[in-house]
Structure 1
Amino acid sequence: MIHHIPIERILFIDIETVPGSGAWEELSEPEQILWDKKTKFQRKDEISAEEFYSERAGIMAEFGKIICITIGMLEKNDTLKIKSFAGDDEKKILLEFGEIFNSPRLKDVILCAHNGKEFDFPWIARRFLINGIMPPVPFQMFGKKPWEIPHIDTMELWKFGDYKSFVSLELLAHLFGIPTPKDDIDGSMVSSIYYIEKDLQRIVDYCEKDVLTLANIFRRMRQEDLLKRYINLD
């Protein structure tokens, strides 16, 4: 039962990702060909590889990049401490993020994200490898039994074994009476805000709201009160 998990051991996490290049023309010819091959069966006949790139490259780890990782951990006084790793240099983001796992407190950490098992956790691990870095131990799953993997996924918790069900973080927030994290932007806007508006801070703010919302959803699932405050460590 999730009630028995020490909440101080949980690392709440959210990432924001964008296409690796701001425009199709910036891709090399081999990259364009590989993208075309990878997405051939996902695209409708009337959608070109170029059009599909701007729409979907930001959710595929092979063709996208991470521009923000936000983490949050609870203190015993029910204060959520939040920290973000963000910028244009993905490798720098990953190196700085990876360093936190050297902390004694994170020796037996449990990762928690919404749809984390399908998105955040594998995305992070893949981008570590692509950047020539070994993923931190909590992201290494080879050879582990399912119950040995220290991951919590609030979407999975909500499914209760129903594999057909998908629920957004925004909808769960509404159901549990939690302020929406989408009061400014949503995920579909991140790429244009990054490449066109060049407003990274707005994306970071959005990511931090998601982590606060995630922590509150997890608390609601445990029938606990909402967090009264959080501290940004940046």
Structure 2
Amino acid sequence: MLHKISLENILFLDIETVPQHKEYHELDDDKKMLWEQKTQYQRKDEFTAGEFYDRAGIWAEFGIIICISVGYFTFKGNKRNFRVTSFHGEERQILTDFKSLLETHYQEPYKLLCGHNAKEFDFPFIARRMIINGIKLPSKLNLFGKKPWEIPHLDTMDLWKFGDYKHYTSLKLLTNILNIPSPKDDIDGSMVKHVFYIENDIDRIITYCEKDVIAVAQIFLRLRGNALLDEQEILHV
């Protein structure tokens, strides 16, 4: 069925997140208590709440979005391009600009969002941060009352499962076994907090995020049996 979906109707995306604060001690007492309770199961007796704070970026209640990168296909005759761009800066502005993109160009029901492990992470994280920031959810992220077949989301990890719901495959592993150039050639997710707060190098994070978007699009092409993108077809705008 994938070949029936027009590539021009898919917005590929990836997000990068970090803890809301640079250091654990910057949390107020209530947040410290709530963080300790939230992570008790994950930490067990191996880490204190403070030692575990570097991982706060994976929870929308304690993390913020610092970059959303998107990519989309365009076709002119036989010429195929994949255009990639990013939203970064203050979180509320990132979310507002991303919402505007969705409502301007991806409002129609047949247009879809696609990421890797995005149903478990990117889509709900963006939705939760929008609500926290007082932003009304766009229809593409407002899933309340929708039936499973009405949800306009694709997930390359979900597609790779082929119904095996216990199976997890990382983006790095999937690109490796499908002979797709790896996006993890500079930093990985565990380094984003350091690069953001210590190195103050958002451009490096944007590059990393955009490479992930390209990798997701490449995986989707491979799952459809299409030719992979070459460098000349990828445009950063």
TM-score by length of 1: 0.96
Which residue number corresponds to residue 57 of structure 1? Answer: 56
> Following the alignment from structure 1 to structure 2, what is the Cα–Cα distance between the partners of residues 167 and 9?
25
Which residue number corresponds to residue 148 of structure 2? Answer: 146
Q: Deviations over 1:182-219 (max 9, x none)?
A: 11111111011101111110000000011111101000
Indicate if the aligned counterparts of 2:107 and 2:139 stay in contact, CA closer than 8 A: no
| Range 169-178 or range 150-159, more displaced | 169-178
Which residue number corresponds to residue 231 of structure 1? Answer: 235
Q: In the comparison of the two structures, how many residue pairs are matched?
A: 231
SS at match of 1:49: coil
> Following the alignment from structure 1 to structure 2, what is the Cα–Cα distance between the partners of residues 46 and 177?
37
C-alpha displacement at 1:106, in angstroms?
Answer: 4.4
TM-score by length of 2: 0.95
Which residue number corresponds to residue 26 of structure 2? Answer: 26
Which residue number corresponds to residue 197 of structure 2? Answer: 195
| Segments ≥4 residues shifted beyond 4 Å | none
C-alpha displacement at 1:39, in angstroms?
Answer: 1.1
SS at match of 2:118: coil
Equivalent of 2:121 in 100, 112, 119: 119
| Range 164-173 or range 11-20, more displaced | 164-173
Q: Deviations over 1:132-189 (max 9, x none)?
A: 0012110011111100000000001111111111111111111111111011111111
Indicate if the aligned counterparts of 1:9 and 1:106 stay in contact, CA closer than 8 A: no
Distance 1:221 1:128, change over 3 A: same
Matches within 5 A, 1:41-190: 41-54=41-54, 56-76=55-75, 77-87=79-89, 89-104=90-105, 106-108=107-109, 109-190=111-192
Structure 2 gaps, min length 5 = none
C-alpha displacement at 1:102, in angstroms?
Answer: 2.9
C-alpha displacement at 1:101, in angstroms?
Answer: 2.0
Indicate if the aligned counterparts of 2:35 and 2:49 stay in contact, CA closer than 8 A: yes
Indicate if the aligned counterparts of 2:107 and 2:140 stay in contact, CA closer than 8 A: no
C-alpha displacement at 1:4, in angstroms?
Answer: 0.9
> Following the alignment from structure 1 to structure 2, what is the Cα–Cα distance between the partners of residues 106 and 12?
15
Matches within 5 A, 1:194-213: 194-213=196-215
C-alpha displacement at 1:46, in angstroms?
Answer: 3.1
Indicate if the aligned counterparts of 2:11 and 2:70 stay in contact, CA closer than 8 A: yes
Distance 1:140 1:82, change over 3 A: same
Distance 1:104 1:195, change over 3 A: closer
> Following the alignment from structure 1 to structure 2, what is the Cα–Cα distance between the partners of residues 185 and 8?
30
RMSD, aligned α-carbons: 1.1
> Following the alignment from structure 2 to structure 1, what is the Cα–Cα distance between the partners of residues 61 and 48?
19
> Following the alignment from structure 2 to structure 1, what is the Cα–Cα distance between the partners of residues 103 and 153?
18
